Amino acid sequence: MRILGVDPGLTRCGVGVVEGGHRRGVSCLGVGVVRSPVDDELPRRLVAIADGVEEWIDQHEPEVVAIERVFSQQNVRSVMGTAQVSGIVALAASRRDIEVAFHTPSSVKAAISGSGKADKRQVTAMVGKVLGMSSPPKPADAADALALALCHLWRAPMVGRLAEAEQRAAELARNHQQRLRQAARDSSGTRGNHR
């Protein structure tokens, strides 16, 4: 599976592509940041980010785009910019019929380091180690993008199995309900014959 991880940001949007699968190692196919000029108006900045992310998507052809889920912070302006970038990334992927997945920062940290409270330095070090990089990826936005991609790569099979199990359980419940209704109809028909 090939995954593009995106750490959304208006000034620096981290991007990283990993590829791996069942019983195969995982490798980094690319890592970097897409930048927008801080002096530009917001719409132009969003276009710059969209163009850059679309280049990454077109170049690497991921099967999934994993995006960090925006969470509330103290700085509302920062959250708004991050949310807007998340939206344009999701739109770019959806227009290409690419699956989009959102992961919280704590779930990414837990997947990479075993602790949802790991700091950026720990996450960056683990990403470098997992991917066999000679030095940890920089800047932190790029490392976070790779962490998102790895998180999705490792969690997607489990999420898929859970979805299949839920679907099977719902199917079994529907079948059971149908059998109960049929038994009730059969039972009421039998009682009516004895009157």
Give φ, ψ of 66 to 5 degrees.
Answer: -100, 125
The answer to whether residue 7 is catalytic is yes
Q: Is 58 annotated as a binding residue?
A: no
Which among 7, 19, 54, 144 is annotated as catalytic? Answer: 7
Q: Is 68 annotated as a binding residue?
A: yes
The answer to whether residue 141 is catalytic is yes
How is 102-139 classified by DSSP, letter by letter? EE-HHHHHHHHHS-TT--HHHHHHHHHHHTT-SS--SS
Which among 55, 141, 144, 171 is annotated as catalytic? Answer: 141
Cα–Cα distance, 130 to 27 (Å, whole number): 9
Do 5 and 17 touch, CB atoms closer than 8 A? yes
Which among 51, 68, 97, 99 is annotated as catalytic? Answer: 68
Count the helix, strand and coil residues of the chain and give each as a percent rounded to the nearest 5: 60, 15, 25
Q: Is 40 annotated as a binding residue?
A: no
The answer to whether residue 68 is catalytic is yes
Which residues participate in the annotated binding site?
7, 68, 141
Which residues participate in the annotated binding site for Mg(2+)?
7, 68, 141
Kindly list the catalytic residues.
7, 68, 141
